[in-house]
Amino acid sequence: MNLDLLKKANVLVIGDIILDKYIHGSVDRVSPEAPVPVLRPQVEEVRLGGAANVAFNVVSLGAKVFLQGVLGKDEYARELKNLMKEKKIKGSYVASKLPSISKLRLLASQQQLLRIDSEEEFSEEDWAHVKLNFKRYVKSNKPSALIISDYGKGSLRNIPYLIREAKKNNLYILVDPKGNDFSKYKGANIITPNYSEFSNAVGGVSSEADFTAKAKKLLFALELEALLVTRGSEGMTLIQKSKTSTKRTDFPTQAQEVFDVSGAGDTVIASLATAIGSGFNLSDAVQLANIAAGVVVGKSGTAAPTLSELSPYLRENSELSKSDIQKLCLESQADSMKVVFTNGCFDILHAGHVAYLEAAKKLGHKLVVGINSDTSVRKLKGSDRPINSLDQRMAIIQALGCVDWVVSFSEETPLSLIKYLKPDILVKGADYKVQDIVGSDEVLANGGEVKTIALIKGLSSTDKIKKIRSKN
């Protein structure tokens, strides 16, 4: 799957533009006025939400995007426009007399305490301008795909009109639906409800057989080409038409860890549209969307995947380049994640290695493991080492669930690699003193931390190799 092709897509997004606001703080007491926690605010954050987050996801994949919707004449609109300019999102926005749509979330230790929604359904006058802008843009720009991002907030008063106009101009139409009545999405190419939305729309689901039967019925009733149902930890299910029948394909989840599911649906439809708009077939587009969603749920709040985050899942060769690893580290740090680095030969993997790496991962969010090349191991351990070649050692370490990225280095020490990656936390075994750990001065100078982890006594690759050789 060539991700560079995604840059060919030109996607139009229309829908409810939302400002997502977050107030992060701490709670250490309950209010004397009522049995509710008292939040001490510490950090305020604003992000793109709704259709704006969909557009951001398209841009993050390298494609062109144009966003249409309604904004108020208020401070929220100014914040949204500044964010969209920062994210390089172009668009046209109807200026309403009514307020912009916003969601304010109050959080303590990543736990959401309360969400406050500010919204009023936009007017017929606003919708008239939305229709006019849409019709003009579609005729003059010919985007490769259209995303209708319906959050049920009132920006889209006549979705059948949008679908008719899009079909006249041969656009591929994708809809992220809301509500229990999906009839307004009739004629789209594909809709992407989550399992709960699908179940509510079809009157409930009693079994997998019932799911398949009702999905097929909905597919034909709405004259869709395909129906993609996102199913949380169970992944996704695609129901699509062929010339003579329908086909069901299940895609297991790609998420390694779930931190926040906010905006995962935005990522799914944005990835689908970008891939299809670039010429990918539907199956490959869903595979990409599944991987992208798995990346995003490991982040905090509404977010978007990048090409460098997706590429490790699609490479035939498991080794990423140093520049790939650096990009991934920078992106993680930009998302307030701590990158942990450790290194070793890992010639013969044993229980001590696994326990050590699991403990290292718990110190941060992403774990990078530097592995000595074969030449480097020979310099350190002797001409009869390593027992296992570099590609074998890297494959074994990469297979561990606690390890995010593996990178090799040819020098005797990983100093140049540490300087290049700039991890937040440097880790070695407790048999080292902090001041003697290679790279400790550099990490500390960058504001990072250096930690040691107790090793399991009696477990050593060198000892195991000696023991095996003594029996031969």
Which residues are identified as catalytic? 266
Q: Supply angle C-alpha 142, 5, 231, rounded to 5.
A: 90
Alpha carbon distance 399, 396 (integer Å):
5
- Of the candidates 128, 101, 96, 126, which has an alpha carbon nearest to the alpha carbon of residue 116? 101
CA–CA separation, 189 and 167 (whole Å): 10
Pairwise CA distance, residues 348 & 237, whole Å: 40
DSSP class per residue in 302-338:
S----HHHHHHHH-SS-PPPHHHHHHHHHHHHHTTPP
β-strand pairing of 37-50 with 449-453: unpaired
**What is the SS3 string spanning 174-243?**
EEECCCCCCHHHCCCCEECCEHHHHHHHCCCCCCHHHHHHHHHHHHHHCCCCEEEEECHHHCEEEEEECC
Question: Strands 111-118, 101-108: parallel, antiparallel or unpaired by DSSP?
Answer: antiparallel
Virtual CA dihedral for 415, 420, 424, 430, nearest 10 degrees? -20
Residue 399 and residue 402: Cα distance in Å, rounded?
9
